Amino acid sequence: MQVYADCPMSSNIDLLDEDDMESEVCSVASGPSIHFAPSVATSATSHDWEMRSASPAPSMYSVTSSLRAASYRHEFGRGINNYSEVYRLPADDEEFERLDHQHLMFMEVMGKYPPPLPEILADDTPGVTKTCVDLGCGSGSWILDVARDFPHCSAVAVDLVPMQDVNMPPNCRSEVDDINLGLQHFYGAFNVAHARLVASGIRDYKGLIDEMVQTLRPRGLIQLVEFDFRVYDVNKKPIMPSQLDEETPWVARWMNMVNIAVEQRGGEPDAANHLHHWLSTHPNLEETVYREFWFQTGPWKHGNDPYTARDNRIGAMMRDDILAFLKSGRPLLLSNGLDIAMVDELEANAERELIDAGAQTYIRVQNVYARRRAY
């Protein structure tokens, strides 16, 4: 069954049917046992198959200087993960701050969780601990909310670098892993599997969906949120590289360069446009829901009515996110061989355009979720 819904909130967000690392040691504790197979300590990276943890069993690890050195390297003034040559966006405090603000924006527009999640994670089965995993968790905003809102659950955060939150709830754990290597060590482990804005680091997104489905328990929930690294015009048509001319908005030119760089690195920048098809046709999934959200790239609408005011407020939040993303994208573009003068020009003009709200453009975010069949 495919479910479509209407957005009750706004005209520009159309819902159609998505301490600093200087301290020497930072210890992160996990929560109670959840009856999985034994695992090794999660201070080890899973970049090499032999080092991968067998399952999310409880542990404690210390984020020491040696682990930091193994997890990060600096490129073009930003901290980049040291394990994936595909994902080249930063994994530093500046980027995590951007992602935290982005999370608040997404929560306001899309809701905190997909509607089925609270029931799925409800503490309603004696002797069974509900479980949730966030793949490519970034700053951890989403999975930390889950851990705090559902303290009886076990929450697992997976990314290429360890989470740095010193206030991590006792029922949440952080694992360092490259999910491109597969998720066999998680098969059958979770009630909810979530991934948001990971396409730039995924070699085979359809294959990732297959792996995520395998991690689900019967009637478990898969939730995906992505955008396609495109900017859309006022008529909600994508501004493609073949259409570029002197009238093309600078933010669209910049985003098209990022799209190309992501693809050249091995990521799937257009995965968002296939999510609905991939989930709705998957043989082990049912009750697929597709939602589409259009975010203004700035507060460029005219009018004083409540809907326009809200659209512009959300547009200002997206503008700020893109302004920070311009900085985050530098290592990706420069490491891909673009001339620094070209990157500087694109960035400076896109920044000026965004601040002036000079282009009536959109970002399209797509969200799909579905349930695993009971058999």
Average pLDDT of span 178-184: 95
Q: Give the per-residue pLDDT at 68.
A: 59
Q: Give the per-residue pLDDT at 66.
A: 61
pLDDT tens per residue across span 314-351: 999 999 999 999 999 999 999 999 999 999 999 999 99
At 79, the amino acid letter reads G
pLDDT tens per residue across span 249-296: 999 999 999 999 999 999 999 999 999 999 999 999 999 999 999 999
Decide if pLDDT at 31 tops 60. no
Beta strand extents in the chain (DSSP E only): 2-3, 27-29, 60-62, 72-75, 78-81, 131-135, 154-159, 172-176, 190-196, 216-227, 285-296, 362-372
The packing angle between helices 306-328 and 93-110, to 10°, is 160
pLDDT exceeding 90 applies to what percent of the chain?
Answer: 70
pLDDT tier at 78, thresholds 50, 70, 90: confident
Burial class (CB within 10 angstroms; exposed 0-12, middle 13-18, buried 19+) of 288: buried
Q: For the whole model, what pTM was predicted?
A: 0.83
Q: Give the per-residue pLDDT at 67.
A: 60
